[in-house]
C-alpha cells in the first residue's frame, strides 16, 4: 500500500475518523456536521445530499463492507483536506475496488462539505482486465 500524508497537527482529526469509517465499512456518527453536504460525481451522474444524517447514510451505502486502502494520499487544504484513495473490499465473496477523491471541508472538527469524485466500482473480472492492460502498457 502506498500512503502519502502531509503534516497533520491534530492527533486524530475528523478526516482520520472519516477514513477509518471508510475502511471499517462503518462511518462514525460524529464525522458530519448537522447541515453537512455531499456533492458527488459518479459515473454518468452527479447528485447532492444535504444534512449530516443523509450524507452519512449515502456514504454508508458506498462503504457497506470492511475494506483496505491499496493507496491513500492526503493533502491539507486551507479549510480541510483532499483525500484520494483506492479501496479494496470483498462483497458477496467477490473482490471489488473503487478509486475516489474527496475534498473535505471541515468546520469545528466536523465535515461540513464533501465534494466526491468516484470512478465507479470494479468487480474482480474488471480489476484483472485493468491489471493486464497496465502490465501490457508497462512492457511497451
Pairwise pLDDT comparison (6 vs 42), residue with the higher score: 42
pTM reported for the whole predicted model: 0.87
The C-alpha R_g of the chain, in whole angstroms, comes to 16
**Arithmetic mean of pLDDT, 7-35:** 87
What distance in Å separates the CA atoms of residue 50 and residue 38, rounded to the nearest whole number?
6
Mean pLDDT of the chain: 91
What are 70's three cell numbers?
Answer: 491499496
Closest CA to 43 of 97, 121, 105: 121
Quick one: pLDDT at residue 119?
Answer: 92
Quick one: pLDDT at residue 74?
Answer: 98
Say if residue 109 is exposed, middle or buried (CB neighbours under 10 Å; 0-12, 13-18, 19+): middle
On whether the CB atoms of residues 42 and 95 are closer than 8 A, the answer is no
Quick one: pLDDT at residue 139?
Answer: 76
Judged against a pLDDT cut of 70, whether residue 9 lies above it is answered with no
Judged against a pLDDT cut of 50, whether residue 4 lies above it is answered with no
Q: Residue 50, Cβ neighbours under 10 Å: how many?
A: 11
Q: What percent of the chain has pLDDT over 90?
A: 79
What distance in Å separates the CA atoms of residue 22 and residue 14, rounded to the nearest whole number?
12
What distance in Å separates the CA atoms of residue 13 and residue 110, rounded to the nearest whole number?
9
Give the least confident one: 11-15, 26-30, 116-120, 136-140: 136-140
Judged against a pLDDT cut of 60, whether residue 79 lies above it is answered with yes
**Arithmetic mean of pLDDT, 95-117:** 97
Quick one: pLDDT at residue 3?
Answer: 44
Amino acid at each position: 500500500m502506498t500512503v502519502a500524508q502531509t503534516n497533520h497537527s491534530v492527533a486524530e482529526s475528523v478526516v482520520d475518523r472519516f477514513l477509518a469509517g471508510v475502511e471499517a465499512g462503518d462511518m462514525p456518527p460524529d464525522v458530519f456536521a448537522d447541515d453537512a453536504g455531499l456533492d458527488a460525481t459518479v459515473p454518468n451522474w452527479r447528485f447532492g445530499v444535504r444534512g449530516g444524517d443523509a450524507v452519512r447514510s449515502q456514504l454508508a451505502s458506498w462503504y457497506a463492507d470492511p475494506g483496505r486502502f491499496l493507496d491513500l494520499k492526503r493533502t491539507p487544504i486551507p479549510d480541510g483536506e483532499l483525500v484520494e484513495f483506492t479501496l479494496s473490499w470483498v462483497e458477496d465473496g467477490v473482490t471489488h475496488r473503487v478509486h475516489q477523491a474527496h475534498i473535505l471541508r471541515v468546520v469545528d472538527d466536523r465535515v461540513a462539505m464533501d465534494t466526491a469524485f468516484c470512478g465507479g466500482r470494479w468487480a474482480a473480472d474488471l480489476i484483472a482486465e485493468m491489471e493486464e492492460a497496465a502490465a501490457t502498457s508497462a512492457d511497451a
